[in-house]
Amino acid sequence: MSFDRILMWVMAIGILIGAADKISGNHLKLGDKFDEGFQAIGSLALGMVGIVCLAPVISSALGPVIVPLFRTFGADPALFGSILANDMGGYTLAMELAQSEEAGLFAGNIVASMLGCTLVFSIPVGLGLIEKEDREYFSNGLLIGLITIPIGCLIGGLIAGFQLHMLIMNTLPVLVLSALLALGLKLIPEKMIKGCTIFGQLITIVIYVGLACAAFEFITGMVIIPGMAPIMEGMEIVAGIGIVLLGTFPVLTILTKVLDKPLNAIGQKLGMDATSAAGLVFTLANSVPVYTMMKDMKKRGIIINTAWLVPATAALGDHLGFTAGVQPGMITPVVAGKLSAGVAAIALGFIMTKNMKEA
């Protein structure tokens, strides 16, 4: 039995454990996590269905430009989809644009879960939640995390068994873009952050337009945007992810409790305070709580936590659930890629902040 299949069985057992706890009085609080998994369908649908429906339209409209442009550099146009998070349309768009299935899986699952997630989620959401005085350290952490994304892409791709030539040709553009973003954050941080925020807002507009038009067409039969995929295609994907999350969240709760002490010990050995060490654990599930915790972290902790969350956010949470829902065979490459880049980011962050003086 493959490791991916073992993980699916673990999550299936998590469903039974969560349901049993809910029925018996929620004594372990795993019943709440069971509910949380299914309740995530709403937010997933808002973030995904619109772009899933629009993906064929976007592919048809941009394909004539994107395909020859990427071919000029020897890369697959699927990489264009990786500017979106995997669970916010990146996977769907990558697979629509892909010239080869391998490249689509690589861009839509591995690259999008790190690069796309940073552009449309981590930067805009993080900026909305952290204190203004922490932005400098947040930006430094982003810079470090972006540098390590290509490492995770290569490792994830190799674990998936993809051809080395394809990986190199499609990782080079990621390396260049990551380097440019990191350079921008170093030289013009305010403009870069503003640009990412605007980009995130534009993506949200596109998602809502797609969702509204698809829903209108479903109810009335009247087509507003020709060529869109039916809304039920998107809803079917979201429902599949929600089913997986029924078990993912209870299992993740158990796992974070088990990992809490060892990860905290590692964090403190790296010279981080208790809050910063705890942030490393929370990131594995979802990075949102970590942003609100940053006001209580030391400068070094903010930088290292941000560097870690750029590639590693939701590695054992939403991104695991999403991957299990759409491409179960990619679970191990995605998780391994995200975590390896995250570990590299922590190591680099530790080196770069070694002589940092706290105020």
Residue 152 reports pLDDT greater than 60: yes
Question: What integer is the mean pLDDT of 2-10?
Answer: 88
Considering its fold, how many domains does the chain have in total?
1
Q: Is residue 92 domain-resident? A: yes
Q: What pLDDT score does 190 carry?
A: 84
Strands annotated E in 56-176: none
Predicted TM-score (pTM) of this structure: 0.88
Please answer whether residues 102 and 162 qualify as being in contact, where contact means their C-beta atoms are separated by less than 8 angstroms.
Answer: yes
Q: Is residue 358 domain-resident? A: no
pLDDT tens for each residue of 294-347: 999 999 999 999 999 999 999 988 899 899 999 999 999 999 999 999 999 999
Q: Is residue 13 domain-resident? A: yes
Q: Is residue 284 domain-resident? A: yes
Q: What pLDDT score does 141 carry?
A: 94
Nearest CA to 273 out of 169, 358, 339 is that of 358
Residues 6+ apart with CB under 8 A from 146: 118, 178, 179, 181, 182, 185, 310
Give me the long-range contacts of 250-253 (CB less than 8 A, separation at least 24).
250/14, 250/15, 250/17, 250/18, 250/21, 250/30, 250/33, 250/34, 250/37, 251/10, 251/11, 251/13, 251/14, 251/17, 252/33, 252/284, 252/285, 252/316, 252/317, 253/29, 253/30, 253/33
Element (DSSP H or E) covering residue 344:
helix 331-352
Lowest mean pLDDT among 33-42, 264-273, 286-295, 309-318: 264-273
User: Measured on CA atoms in the order 130, 318, 345, 198, is the torsion positive or negative?
Assistant: negative
Distance CA 313, CA 339 (A): 9
Q: Give residue 201's domain range.
A: 3-352
Distance CA 100, CA 118 (A): 25
Higher per-residue pLDDT: 167 or 274: 167
Higher per-residue pLDDT: 268 or 158: 158
Q: Is residue 62 domain-resident? A: yes
Say how many CA atoms lie within 13 Å of 212 toward its Cβ: 6
Question: What integer is the mean pLDDT of 189-214?
Answer: 89
pLDDT tens for each residue of 67-106: 899 989 899 999 999 998 998 889 999 999 999 999 999 9
**Percent of the chain whose pLDDT exceeds 70:** 99
Q: Is residue 128 domain-resident? A: yes
Residue 218 reports pLDDT greater than 90: yes
Residue 359 reports pLDDT greater than 60: no
Q: Is residue 357 domain-resident? A: no
Q: Is residue 120 domain-resident? A: yes
pLDDT tens for each residue of 156-172: 999 999 999 999 999 99
Residue 175 reports pLDDT greater than 70: yes
Helices 231-269, 189-220: crossing angle, 10 deg rounding:
150
Distance CA 261, CA 269 (A): 12
User: Measured on CA atoms in the order 141, 144, 146, 148, is the torsion positive or negative?
Assistant: negative
pLDDT tens for each residue of 237-253: 889 888 988 998 899 88
